[in-house]
Amino acid sequence: MKGHFITFEGPDGAGKTTIINEIFKQIPQDKQTKILVTREPGGSKISETIRQIILDPANKEMDDRTEALLYAAQRGQHVNETILPALSTGKTVFSDRYIDSSLAYQGVGRDLGIDDVKEINNFATNNLTPDLTLFFDLPPEVGLARIQKLRPDQEDRLEQEKLTFHQKVYEGYQELVKRYPDRIQVVDASQTIPEVTAQSVKILKRKFPDLF
């Protein structure tokens, strides 16, 4: 028995966390217990500790390769401690970010290369690949403005990066959408919250009718 592994991706502030919560509310109550909602970086005790190190604005001297390896390390722990045990009992896992974040932010944003970053992540996760990824498509400046409004003066180390970095990350996501057209479905995240939710639910119902 294996559950579905579904990931949610997009620029900072695209609405991933908000829409995951909205989708969850639309799942019948008796089926909600079959869903595990988790996030990256994080999703296990060790991975949350690594999250604090990566996102701490004080860690300005962090090397780009160290950053990529820390994201891969937290992911390895997350997969083995949280995601695989849930999938193996038939639960569906909703992960707020996963490997595509590393491919877009470290592979393209940090210029480390999509293929090299993919390789260290394949090692870390033993090649665990999502069954479906929803990409929340939003210009990075719009997402960053939402974050700024939500948490003024509380940006983490990645959010504090220049707009040019976030624009490269966005281009990275566009490349991933082209590379993995069967796995990654694009959602227009510039719509209202109910509209983004409805588009997401429609995609999920089509692919996994058993979820609802």
Check the annotation: does 145 bind a ligand. Answer: no
Interaction between residue 42 and ligand ATP (CB under 6 A): no
CB 124 within 8 A of CB 73: yes
CB 24 within 8 A of CB 94: yes
Interaction between residue 134 and ligand ATP (CB under 6 A): no
Q: For ligand ATP, give the closer residue by CB, 55 or 84.
A: 55
193 binds, among ligand LXEULUCI, ligand ATP, none (CB under 5 to 8 A by kind): ligand ATP
b (16+ CB within 10 A) / e for 96-115: bbbbbbbbbbbbbbbebebe
102 binds, among ligand ATP, ligand LXEULUCI, none (CB under 5 to 8 A by kind): ligand LXEULUCI
Provide the token pair at 28. 């019948």
Check the annotation: does 14 bind a ligand. Answer: yes
Annotate each residue in 60-99 with x if it binds ligand LXEULUCI (CB under 6 A) or - if it does not, as one string. -----------x-------------------------x--
Radius of gyration of the chain (CA): 16
Interaction between residue 13 and ligand ATP (CB under 6 A): yes
CB 126 within 8 A of CB 119: no
Q: Which of 211, 199, 174, 205 is nearest to 19 (CA)?
A: 199
Interaction between residue 147 and ligand ATP (CB under 6 A): yes
Q: For ligand LXEULUCI, give the closer residue by CB, 1 or 150.
A: 150
Q: Which of 200, 71, 80, 57 is nearest to 134 (CA)?
A: 200
Q: In the bound complex, what is the minimum distance in angstroms from residue 154's beta carbon to ligand ATP?
A: 11
Provide the token pair at 49. 């500790």
Q: Which of 30, 60, 111, 150 binds ligand ATP (CB under 6 A)?
A: 150
Element (DSSP H or E) covering residue 149: helix 140-150
Name the β-bridge partners of 134: 8, 185
Check the annotation: does 17 bind a ligand. Answer: yes
For binding to ligand ATP (CB under 6 A), which residues are involved?
10, 12-18, 146-147, 150, 189, 192-193, 196
Annotated binding site for ATP: 10-17
